[in-house]
Amino acid sequence: MLAENLYALRRKSGLSQEQLAEKIGVSRQAVSKWEGGQSTPELEKLKALSECFQVTIDELTGNEAVPAPGGAIKEQESPAPSQGGERKIGVCLCIIGAVCLILFGALTVAHPPSVGQINESSTVTLNGTGILAALFVLLMLLGLGMIFRKK
Protein backbone atom coordinates (compact mmCIF):
# COMPACT_ATOMS: atom_id res chain seq x y z
CA MET A 1 0.00 0.00 0.00
CA LEU A 2 2.69 2.47 0.99
CA ALA A 3 4.67 1.76 -2.17
CA GLU A 4 1.66 2.30 -4.44
CA ASN A 5 0.49 5.40 -2.58
CA LEU A 6 3.93 6.95 -2.55
CA TYR A 7 4.30 6.38 -6.30
CA ALA A 8 0.81 7.81 -6.99
CA LEU A 9 1.38 10.88 -4.82
CA ARG A 10 4.81 11.56 -6.28
CA ARG A 11 3.48 11.29 -9.84
CA LYS A 12 0.46 13.47 -9.04
CA SER A 13 2.79 16.11 -7.64
CA GLY A 14 4.92 15.97 -10.78
CA LEU A 15 8.07 15.12 -8.87
CA SER A 16 10.84 12.81 -9.94
CA GLN A 17 12.33 10.39 -7.46
CA GLU A 18 15.40 12.62 -7.33
CA GLN A 19 13.34 15.76 -6.58
CA LEU A 20 11.36 14.01 -3.84
CA ALA A 21 14.55 12.64 -2.32
CA GLU A 22 16.06 16.13 -2.15
CA LYS A 23 12.90 17.55 -0.55
CA ILE A 24 12.90 15.08 2.33
CA GLY A 25 16.65 14.59 2.67
CA VAL A 26 17.22 11.04 1.44
CA SER A 27 18.84 9.42 -1.58
CA ARG A 28 16.99 8.71 -4.83
CA GLN A 29 17.72 5.02 -4.22
CA ALA A 30 15.83 5.17 -0.92
CA VAL A 31 12.76 6.59 -2.67
CA SER A 32 13.10 3.92 -5.35
CA LYS A 33 13.22 1.16 -2.72
CA TRP A 34 10.17 2.58 -0.93
CA GLU A 35 8.18 2.73 -4.16
CA GLY A 36 9.32 -0.77 -5.10
CA GLY A 37 8.29 -2.15 -1.73
CA GLN A 38 11.83 -3.31 -0.98
CA SER A 39 12.04 -1.23 2.20
CA THR A 40 9.94 1.14 4.25
CA PRO A 41 10.78 4.60 5.48
CA GLU A 42 11.43 5.32 9.13
CA LEU A 43 8.78 7.24 11.08
CA GLU A 44 10.74 10.48 10.69
CA LYS A 45 10.72 10.07 6.89
CA LEU A 46 7.01 9.11 6.89
CA LYS A 47 6.30 12.40 8.64
CA ALA A 48 8.37 14.27 6.06
CA LEU A 49 6.55 12.50 3.21
CA SER A 50 3.13 13.24 4.70
CA GLU A 51 4.05 16.93 5.06
CA CYS A 52 5.46 17.04 1.54
CA PHE A 53 2.28 15.63 0.00
CA GLN A 54 -0.13 17.27 2.50
CA VAL A 55 -1.66 13.92 3.51
CA THR A 56 -1.85 12.07 6.79
CA ILE A 57 0.42 9.15 7.57
CA ASP A 58 -2.69 6.94 7.49
CA GLU A 59 -3.42 8.06 3.95
CA LEU A 60 0.20 7.52 3.00
CA THR A 61 0.33 4.00 4.43
CA GLY A 62 -2.98 2.95 2.93
CA ASN A 63 -5.39 3.14 5.84
CA GLU A 64 -7.51 5.83 4.17
CA ALA A 65 -8.44 6.98 0.68
CA VAL A 66 -5.58 8.47 -1.34
CA PRO A 67 -5.83 10.65 -4.44
CA ALA A 68 -4.91 8.62 -7.52
CA PRO A 69 -2.74 10.05 -10.33
CA GLY A 70 -5.83 10.95 -12.40
CA GLY A 71 -7.21 13.12 -9.61
CA ALA A 72 -9.87 10.60 -8.58
CA ILE A 73 -9.97 9.18 -5.11
CA LYS A 74 -8.54 5.69 -5.00
CA GLU A 75 -10.18 3.58 -2.29
CA GLN A 76 -7.72 1.38 -0.53
CA GLU A 77 -9.02 -2.07 0.22
CA SER A 78 -8.39 -2.95 3.80
CA PRO A 79 -7.92 -6.64 4.24
CA ALA A 80 -11.08 -8.32 5.49
CA PRO A 81 -10.83 -9.82 8.91
CA SER A 82 -9.60 -13.35 8.59
CA GLN A 83 -12.73 -15.42 8.90
CA GLY A 84 -11.11 -18.32 7.05
CA GLY A 85 -9.06 -19.34 10.07
CA GLU A 86 -12.00 -18.99 12.43
CA ARG A 87 -14.21 -21.05 10.14
CA LYS A 88 -11.59 -23.78 9.91
CA ILE A 89 -11.44 -23.95 13.70
CA GLY A 90 -15.24 -24.08 13.80
CA VAL A 91 -15.34 -26.94 11.31
CA CYS A 92 -12.68 -28.81 13.30
CA LEU A 93 -14.66 -28.35 16.52
CA CYS A 94 -17.82 -29.64 14.85
CA ILE A 95 -16.02 -32.66 13.47
CA ILE A 96 -14.33 -33.44 16.79
CA GLY A 97 -17.62 -33.08 18.67
CA ALA A 98 -19.48 -35.28 16.18
CA VAL A 99 -16.77 -37.97 16.18
CA CYS A 100 -16.66 -38.01 19.98
CA LEU A 101 -20.45 -38.23 20.16
CA ILE A 102 -20.49 -41.11 17.66
CA LEU A 103 -17.69 -42.94 19.48
CA PHE A 104 -19.42 -42.41 22.79
CA GLY A 105 -22.68 -43.78 21.37
CA ALA A 106 -20.87 -46.78 19.90
CA LEU A 107 -19.15 -47.43 23.25
CA THR A 108 -22.50 -47.23 25.03
CA VAL A 109 -24.02 -49.82 22.69
CA ALA A 110 -20.97 -52.08 22.41
CA HIS A 111 -19.95 -52.13 26.07
CA PRO A 112 -22.81 -51.16 28.41
CA PRO A 113 -20.81 -51.76 31.62
CA SER A 114 -18.51 -48.87 30.66
CA VAL A 115 -21.50 -46.51 30.90
CA GLY A 116 -21.97 -47.58 34.50
CA GLN A 117 -18.31 -46.95 35.22
CA ILE A 118 -18.52 -43.45 33.71
CA ASN A 119 -21.62 -42.69 35.79
CA GLU A 120 -19.97 -43.96 39.00
CA SER A 121 -16.81 -41.93 38.42
CA SER A 122 -18.71 -38.67 37.98
CA THR A 123 -18.49 -36.32 40.95
CA VAL A 124 -21.25 -34.10 39.58
CA THR A 125 -24.88 -34.79 40.50
CA LEU A 126 -25.68 -35.35 36.82
CA ASN A 127 -24.62 -38.73 35.60
CA GLY A 128 -21.32 -38.94 33.71
CA THR A 129 -22.82 -40.05 30.42
CA GLY A 130 -25.11 -37.02 30.33
CA ILE A 131 -22.18 -34.73 31.02
CA LEU A 132 -20.10 -36.27 28.22
CA ALA A 133 -22.98 -36.12 25.74
CA ALA A 134 -23.69 -32.50 26.69
CA LEU A 135 -19.99 -31.65 26.37
CA PHE A 136 -19.76 -33.13 22.87
CA VAL A 137 -22.95 -31.38 21.76
CA LEU A 138 -21.67 -28.12 23.23
CA LEU A 139 -18.42 -28.58 21.29
CA MET A 140 -20.38 -29.03 18.08
CA LEU A 141 -22.55 -25.98 18.78
CA LEU A 142 -19.46 -23.88 19.52
CA GLY A 143 -17.99 -24.99 16.20
CA LEU A 144 -21.20 -24.13 14.35
CA GLY A 145 -21.25 -20.74 16.03
CA MET A 146 -17.74 -20.05 14.82
CA ILE A 147 -18.57 -21.18 11.28
CA PHE A 148 -21.67 -19.02 10.90
CA ARG A 149 -20.63 -16.02 12.97
CA LYS A 150 -20.78 -12.78 11.00
CA LYS A 151 -18.42 -9.89 11.55
Q: Which fold has domain 2-74?
A: 434 Repressor (Amino-terminal Domain) (1.10.260)
Report pLDDT for 77: 46
Alpha-helix runs per DSSP H in the chain: 2-13, 17-24, 28-35, 43-53, 57-61, 83-110, 112-121, 128-148
Mean pLDDT by 10 residues, the chain (151 residues): 88 92 92 90 89 88 60 46 71 84 81 73 62 78 78 55
Answer yes or no: are the C-beta atoms of 113 and 121 closer than 8 Å. Answer: no
Report pLDDT for 125: 52
Report pLDDT for 78: 44
Domain boundaries, the chain: 2-74, 83-148
Instruction: Report the 10 Å Cβ neighbour count for 21.
Output: 18
